[in-house]
Amino acid sequence: MSRLENDRPLLTEGIYEEVHEEEEEEEETAYDEAEKVHIARDEDDDERDLEHGVGCGGAPPFSWRKLWLFTGPGFLMSIAFLDPGNLEGDLQAGAVAGYSLLWLLMWATAMGLLVQLLSARLGVATGRHLAELCREEYPTWAGMVLWVMAELALIGSDIQEVIGSAIAIQILTNGIFPLWAGVVITALDCFVFLFLENYGIRKLEAVFAVLIGTMAVAFAWMFGQAKPSGSELLVGILVPKLSTRTIQKAVGVVGCIIMPHNVFLHSALVQSREVDKRQKHRVQEAINYYTIESTIALAVSFMINLFVTTVFAKGFYNTDLADSIGLVNAGQYLQDKYGGGVFPILYIWGIGLLAAGQSSTITGTYAGQFIMGGFLNFKMKKWLRALITRSCAIVPTMIVALVFDSSEATLDVLNEWLNVLQSIQIPFALIPLLCLVSKEQIMGSFKIGPLYQTVAWLVAALVIMINGYLLLEFFTSEVSGVVYTGFVSVFTASYGAFIVYLIGRGINFTPCRSKAESS
């Protein structure tokens, strides 16, 4: 515990708040106080709280109005479950495995929800996000490694998202714009993001709601045109089924659900609401509303992913085209299979893909700001930070677009390498998160209990092992030769050692000033 917290009983409340505010002014924060959404209270709130025993172990009564005020961060977080990389995983799973992996999609989404709820809990209870806490709790060298890993994960994810948007632009313009031109157009979204952010967080959240709604309508329209089998769909959700032919796609479904940068993002997004952390019941209230909101958001994302999987299951399962479908050619295959209709399915797919790509690239820019600010702890004007964050992804993406523009096969290979990059980064977000939310020194009375800890670590272990399997399969098939084998061996040993260090350091976290004030 910091000197300031030890001395708190000796200080008056006013003096403590003044010192605390001066200390926080020196540090980067996710949101300034003026930017936060104020959770207005009814005049009768205090009376209702007393009636329900609030402050004596009770919880504030549920309010639809408050749920609406807390709604937003979960839907921004859910974009990572709907990015072009996930859509490609959905369509390939449907084409290769039919309806048989829908149950896995559902449970993978549930595992993703568990991780994101932990991230939200951390942000609400401590008033700090994951990147900030990693900087405070780990030695400088380890914090820098975690920062580099988070940035690499973000860049890899952003390349996939920008390429997805560029492909959508190609589809919607009938190929007039080459891939590199689509990348340039997509790069400009950071300026749209900055423009919207100036009008407040609620306006930004409203834009994302429109984009998610666009995806839902577009892919539901496709679902209606394809008319998948209802009985097979239900069996696919309820009856677990796996075969040697579908195991690789099954691993891919789970592996692409949890995005490292999204774990950092959600812990920052929840701080956009003004919550009095001095009142324990207000913190618990915020956690409860974020739990409801995040669950609804991921239920919507599950339905959208289900639409995509079942459309391709109906059209391409057990066909010669099943193994060759990717983001680049998926629209044309759909057009050839289902025809034009009132509105050509090719353009419906393009609209949905564009909404997915644009929304995920903007959230990527957002996540990049929090990651950079949290790990490096320096203040910078928003437009400059957004420009730096966007440039880190756009420059390599432009190179990719110019090199791979004419080759679908090489673009697919690149996508596999980017998926491997994401898989490598997952432990460096999950392990610090689980260590932090399990510690009373960090979370106060809001630390997760033994049962929750056990389930969370089992889920994390499962996800890490699944991604480890992906890495092993990939390197076994792609890497050969003595030099490469030696490099992989050294990398694997270093990688494993750092993971062990993260776990060991997490078990022995020392108290810090980020402890939840409400404890």
Q: What is the pLDDT of residues 273-286, one digit of tens each?
A: 988 888 888 899 99
Mean pLDDT of 239-258: 77
Which range has the worst mean pLDDT, 9-18, 285-294, 459-468?
Answer: 9-18
> Coil, helix or strand for 245?
coil
What average pLDDT is seen over the chain? 80
Q: What percent of the chain has pLDDT above 70?
A: 80
Query: Could you tell me the pLDDT band of residue 45, with boundaries at 50, 70 and 90?
Result: low
Q: Which of 421, 442, 463 is nearest to 506 (CA)?
A: 442
Q: What is the pLDDT of residue 475?
A: 67
pTM: 0.85
Q: What is the pLDDT of residue 174?
A: 86
Which range has the worst mean pLDDT, 68-82, 269-283, 411-425?
Answer: 411-425
The string over 179-200, giving b where at least 16 C-beta atoms fall within 10 Å of a residue's C-beta and e elsewhere, is bbbbbbbbbebbeebbebbeee
Distance, in Å, from the CA atom of 341 to the CA atom of 352, rounded to the nearest integer, reads 17
CA 31 to chain CA centroid, nearest Å: 19
Which range has the worst mean pLDDT, 125-139, 213-227, 378-392?
Answer: 378-392
Phi, psi of 259 (to 5 degrees): -105, 125
Instruction: Give the residue carrying structure tokens 């061996």.
Output: 489
Task: Give the start-to-end residue ranges of the domains of the chain.
Answer: 60-408
Q: How far is CA 191 from CA 29, 163, 198, in A?
A: 21, 18, 11
pLDDT at 22 over 50: no
Angle between helices 260-269 and 130-137 (to 10 degrees): 100
CA 467 to chain CA centroid, nearest Å: 16
**Residue count (the chain):** 519
- Residues 6 or more apart from 280 whose CB is under 8 A from it? 55, 445, 518, 519
CA 133 to chain CA centroid, nearest Å: 18
pLDDT at 2 over 70: no
pLDDT at 447 over 80: yes
Single-letter amino acid, residue 385: R
Q: What is the pLDDT of residue 302?
A: 95
Single-letter amino acid, residue 417: W
**Fold of the domain built from segment(s) 60-408:** Hydantoin permease (1.10.4160)
CA 410 to chain CA centroid, nearest Å: 26
Are 133 and 436 spatial neighbours (Cβ–Cβ below 8 Å)?
yes
Q: Most confidently modeled of 26-40, 151-165, 277-291, 364-378?
A: 277-291
pLDDT at 399 over 50: yes
Residue 109 tokens, joined: 């989404």
Angle between helices 84-97 and 280-316 (to 10 degrees): 50
- In 426-481, which ranges are continuous DSSP H helix? 427-437, 440-443, 450-478
Q: What is the pLDDT of residues 329-387, one digit of tens each?
A: 888 899 888 876 678 888 999 999 999 988 888 888 888 888 988 898 877 776 677 77
Mean pLDDT of 505-518: 56
